[in-house]
Amino acid sequence: MTVDRSLRGKVALVAGATRGAGRGIAIELGAAGATVYVTGRTTRYAQSEYKRSETIEETAELVTAVGGTGIAVQADHLDPEQVRLLVERIHAEQHGLDILVNDIWGGEMLASNQSIWEHSLSDGLRLLRLAVDTHLITSHFALPLLIRKPGGLLIEVTDGTYEYNSQNYRYSAFYDLAKVSINRLGWSQAQELKPHGCTAVSLTPGWMRSEMMLNHYDVNEENWHDATRKEPHFVISESPRFVGRAVAHLASDPDVMRWNGQSLSSGQLAQIYGFTDLDGSRPDCWRYLREVQDVGKPADATGYR
């Protein structure tokens, strides 16, 4: 399903697009016609500590295959100099930036459900740097390019809406702080962007069928439903393209400033903009979590997708 208003001629930077939500977002922006710079640490010639097969070149090729222009740039978003050079390249090649998606993460292997006094301090602090510092560094260098003309859009990708994160403890103190911080970062940057006619929001997917999550349950996108034998509530899961479609619709909305400073979810925006996931459904994960999973009801996505 394509968006109603083409993004042809628009330039996007999806920071953290090697896999998962970043890849899904980049593909959907490409499907709407955008030129999309995709960044990450893993290329065909170098790997991050994840040691996974997905690369930024693959993401760029997928963007181009659906009608956009994908451009892969290796960058570690904890390194200010690398980010500065990235933005300088975008400026030199495109003379502007319309959409910035801060999707950098990298903390999965550092997260633990241990109490703060038991959790590895070095792992916890690095998790926060990967989750928060990377976004701040990227915004610091990229937003001066975004605000050169009105209409720019910044999307801070996180895990959980502000409402859900403010009422629920998320796994550990370090992880909890990381995800709540990005909700707040979307709001605070909205205050700074508004005078320039630009918009910032925080956005969360639901229970996303990322490559790593599919591997965890030993399934793929074609047979993902088999994972419900191990985890029945996985029935509410969604593909990375679903949150990608949420981003593409936000970027195509001429009245996007109505969302400025808000915490949004893929399921919420699907109901408003009318888009669906790849299977034609509209999973509403965060409502499902509150009303079904978190209160101990049996897994049943009827009425939630």
From CA 266, how far away is CA 284, in angstroms rounded?
A: 8
From CA 178, how far away is CA 148, in angstroms rounded?
A: 30
Reply yes or no on whether the pLDDT at 5 is more than 60. Answer: no
Worst-scoring range by mean pLDDT, 40-49, 51-60, 182-191, 292-301? 40-49
Burial 146-180 (b: 16+ CB within 10 A, else e): bbeeebbbbbbbbbbbbebbeeeebebebbbbbbb
State pLDDT tens for residues 258-279.
Answer: 999 999 999 999 999 999 999 9
pLDDT score, position 278: 96
Of the candidates 6, 11, 4, 5, the one whose C-alpha atom is nearest the C-alpha of residue 149 is 11
pLDDT score, position 2: 44
pLDDT score, position 108: 79
The SS3 assignment for 263 reads strand
Single pTM value for the model: 0.95
From CA 166, how far away is CA 160, in angstroms rounded?
A: 9
Reply yes or no on whether the pLDDT at 20 is more than 50. Answer: yes
Q: Class assignment of domain 11-210+240-283?
A: alpha beta
State pLDDT tens for residues 95-135.
Answer: 999 999 999 998 778 888 889 999 999 999 999 999 999 99
Reply yes or no on whether the pLDDT at 24 is more than 80. Answer: yes
From CA 242, how far away is CA 278, in angstroms rounded?
A: 7
State pLDDT tens for residues 48-62.
Answer: 888 888 899 999 999
pLDDT score, position 1: 44
Q: In which band, very low, low, confident or very high, does the pLDDT at 168 lie, cut at 50, 70 and 90?
A: confident
Alpha helices (H) in the chain, listed in sequence order: 20-31, 56-65, 80-94, 121-128, 134-146, 162-167, 173-193, 211-216, 240-252, 266-273, 285-288
Helical (H) or strand (E) element with 14: strand 11-15
Mean pLDDT in residue range 14-37: 97
Reply yes or no on whether the pLDDT at 3 is more than 50. Answer: no
Q: In which band, very low, low, confident or very high, does the pLDDT at 76 lie, cut at 50, 70 and 90?
A: very high
From CA 81, how far away is CA 216, in angstroms rounded?
A: 35
